[in-house]
Homo-oligomer: A and B are copies of this chain.
């Protein structure tokens, strides 16, 4: 199937209002493919060293991938990337939904946005036509109103809108980008970058057919994938309960962060579980473009809180961050918090963790009632949690401080506050206590985007998701490794799992459909790329793409001044686990340093700061990054 991939890159300079279209050759797409890897190409080639993440010179990339837009489950994700205002390093976050495929159908693989508009604008893309439009009337509005306003104005209900609400406008450092009201490019503050550019939204409508090298072959894979999804226990679990299915196992095993990681089990876990959610506030499933997994939830309540079903429903991360981490077992309140975050475009993880941090500071006397303007900011106070979301998004009072993220907030509060600021590289911890699963903890430490639970596969601590040997056997990982293990064999497993996960990030593949052991096999991914592009590729080449993206991200951060010392954990994680079946379990700083030594060498990075060696860069066809 000789073919050659044709893609277009859209450039928009908001300062000059200049719009240009580039058509890189096939080999460019084969080298960078999409998502994180493609974004990094532009970030690394076009970036000045001293850039202010919230200044006009920051480059904001929206990148789908060579696969995005094909009618197949789990292929919908797109990346938003830029210099992060939260971490000061590589900012990147992926979202599913419908926006990425729509962009492809509108004729573009990626959008590169520079500059800053004088007044609020949105970008309107329709089948290759691009327009910068005034958004003054949308400024200050939440996502629901924004989407509605744009669709009405352009008179098309099928327009897909990636946008920011008030949190993005107000430059909350962990503001996210939301599409279809319920799908978030959650992490690293990409919404703040949009806000800093006075860019309210990117509205897209595309009806162009994708060119495919082997449509018949693709159809066959897609059909067999649907059958697998219906038969595989993990995809079925996601289908039935969504990610909230993890609450009970996380609590049972003892890695459900509770009260700002002072506990790993939560008394109220049952009440915020996926099972309870399914039987109470759930009103159906949501999904992404062309996906048979249908893992998304829709919830509605009209009780103490009125929660609209338009904004999706809480994920595991929402339930843990806004719930257990804040000591809150009120499912309706969490659902409301989730809705508000999606309205305002706040990253739910960082929001929940910032509130939990503030609650601990308040309880420890580091924040006073005066500073909270009378709010009893205590663990378990659901009203306070919701109030805090409003204050953060609107930067009101204490919310203005927390809008800076826990790292900066703790610096300003001073004293002991540092101890309660749970972050890596400035990004708040996701809801997995790594003291029961070192692999996730190691991901927190070394991820280029700061604490990230989507950097490498979760250890196979429970059967639901995670790495079983059967699943990673195609990579040559043939023997099981204990989740608690932190030695060489765990780092080897981690290295290979990370290769898989970073491939997903560059191909726009959803790990709920594809993470081994799940429905989509590695072999099918290779065949899918072949059928779409006509490239005679292999799993070897795809793993090198993944390796390439990791080396590029590392170089990006090194240029921004990150060092080996930034690959670490907050102090609290070095303390013994306070409860649960693994009570007392922890890792020493030496354990982590040893793991880094091995990992850096595995990656072809030097030991000093994890700098990719010249030979490694050349191997990965990144000679242009050799300094």
Interface residues in chain A, defined as those with a beta carbon under 8 Å from any beta carbon in chain B: 27, 30-31, 470, 473-476, 478-479, 488-489, 491-492, 495, 522-523, 535-541, 543-545, 597-604, 613-616, 618-619, 621, 623
Q: Which residues of B are found within 8 Å of A489, using beta-carbon distances?
A: 618, 623
Q: Are B623 and A540 in contact (CB under 8 A)?
A: no
Distance to closest chain B CB from A537 (angstroms): 6
CB<8 Å pairs between A and B, sample of 25: A27-B478, A470-B536, A473-B541, A474-B537, A474-B538, A474-B540, A476-B537, A476-B540, A476-B541, A476-B544, A476-B545, A488-B618, A489-B618, A491-B618, A492-B621, A522-B538, A539-B539, A597-B614, A598-B614, A598-B615, A600-B615, A601-B616, A602-B604, A602-B615, A603-B615
From B31, B491, B543, B618, contact of A492 by CB (8 A): B618
Cβ–Cβ contact B535 & A538, under 8 A = no
Given the interface pairs A614-B597, A614-B598, the reply to whether A474 lies near B536 with Cβ below 8 Å is yes
Q: Report the bound CA distance from A392 to B539 in whole Å.
A: 50
Tell me the smallest distance from the CB of A498 to a CB of chain B, in Å.
12
Which chain B residues border A603 with CB–CB below 8 Å?
615
> How far is it, in angstroms, between the C-alpha of A432 and the C-alpha of B618 when the chains are bound?
27
| Distance in angstroms between the alpha carbons of A478 and B597 in the assembled complex | 33
A597's partner among B27, B615, B616 (CB-CB below 8 A) is B615
B-side contacts of A536, CB under 8 Å? 470, 473-474
User: CA–CA, A535 to B475, complex, Å?
Assistant: 11
A523's partner among B470, B475, B538 (CB-CB below 8 A) is: B538
Q: Given that A27-B478, A475-B538, A540-B543 are contacting pairs, would A601 and B604 also be in contact in the complex, using a CB cutoff of 8 Å? A: yes
Instruction: Point out the residues of chain B lying under 8 angstroms from A492, CB to CB.
Output: 618-619, 621
Cβ-defined contact, B614 with A476, below 8 A = no
Nearest chain B CB to A228's CB is how many angstroms away?
A: 15
How near does chain B come to A492, taking the closest CB pair, in angstroms?
6
- Contact pick for A604, options B479, B522, B604, CB 8 Å: B604
Contacts of A598 in B (CB 8 A): 614-615, 618
Question: Once bound together, how far apart are the Cα atoms of A473 and B540, in whole Å?
Answer: 11
Cα of A27 to Cα of B599 in the assembled complex, Å? 24
Choose from B538, B539, B616 the contact partner of A602 (Cβ within 8 Å): B616
CA distance A541 to B499 in the complex (A): 13
> Which residues of B are found within 8 Å of A523, using beta-carbon distances?
538
- Nearest CB of chain B from residue A5's CB, rounded to whole Å: 12
B474 touching A541 by the CB < 8 A rule?
A: yes
B residues within 8 A CB of A619? 492, 495, 602
In whole angstroms, how far apart are the Cα atoms of A284 and B31 in the complex? 47
| CA gap between A614 and B27 in the complex, in Å | 34
User: In the complex, how many angstroms separate the beta carbon of A333 from the nearest chain B beta carbon?
Assistant: 46
How far, in Å, is A263 (CB) from chain B's closest CB?
Answer: 34
CA distance A103 to B492 in the complex (A): 35
For residue A27, which residues in chain B have a CB less than 8 angstroms away from its CB? 478-479
- Bound together, the chains give a CA A492 to CA B492 distance in angstroms of 24
A540 to B27, CA, bound (A): 21
| Residues of B close to A30: CB separation below 8 A | 476, 478
* Complex Cα spacing A522 to B541, Å: 12
Query: With contacts A538-B540, A601-B604, A601-B614 known, what are 19 further pairs, Cβ within 8 A?
Result: A27-B479, A31-B478, A470-B536, A473-B536, A491-B615, A492-B619, A495-B619, A522-B538, A539-B540, A540-B543, A597-B614, A597-B615, A598-B618, A599-B615, A600-B615, A601-B616, A602-B618, A602-B619, A603-B615
Residue of B nearest to A31 (CB): B478
Contacts of A601 in B (CB 8 A): 604, 613-616, 618
A475's contact among B541, B597, B599, B604, by CB below 8 Å, is which?
A: B541
Q: Which B residues lie within 8 Å of A475 (CB)?
A: 538, 540-541, 544
Residue on B with the closest CB to A27? B478
C-alpha spacing A488/B618, complex, angstroms: 6
Chain B residues within 8 Å of A614, by CB: 597-598, 601
- Which of A492, A603, A615 gathers the greatest number of chain B CB atoms within 10 Å? A615
Q: Across the two chains, which residue of chain B brings its CB closest to A613?
A: B601
Chain B residues with Cβ below 8 Å from A539 are 538-540
Complex Cα distance, B474 from A535, in Å, reads 8
Minimum CB–CB distance from A627 to chain B (whole Å) comes to 14
Instruction: Report the Cα distance A522→B613, complex, angstroms.
Output: 29
Nearest chain B CB to A481's CB is how many angstroms away?
12
On whether the beta carbons of A473 and B535 are closer than 8 Å, the reply is yes
| A618 contact set on B, CB distance < 8 A | 488-489, 491-492, 598, 601-602
Q: How far is the CB of A456 from chain B (nearest CB, A)?
A: 14
Q: In the assembled complex, which residues on chain B have CB atoms less than 8 Å from the CB atom of A540?
A: 474-476, 538-540, 543
Bound complex: CA A597 to CA B617 (Å): 13
Give bound CA distance, A544 to B614, whole Å.
Answer: 21
* Residues in chain B near residue A604, CB distance under 8 A: 601-602, 604
A604 to B606, CA, bound (A): 10
A623 to B488, CA, bound (A): 8
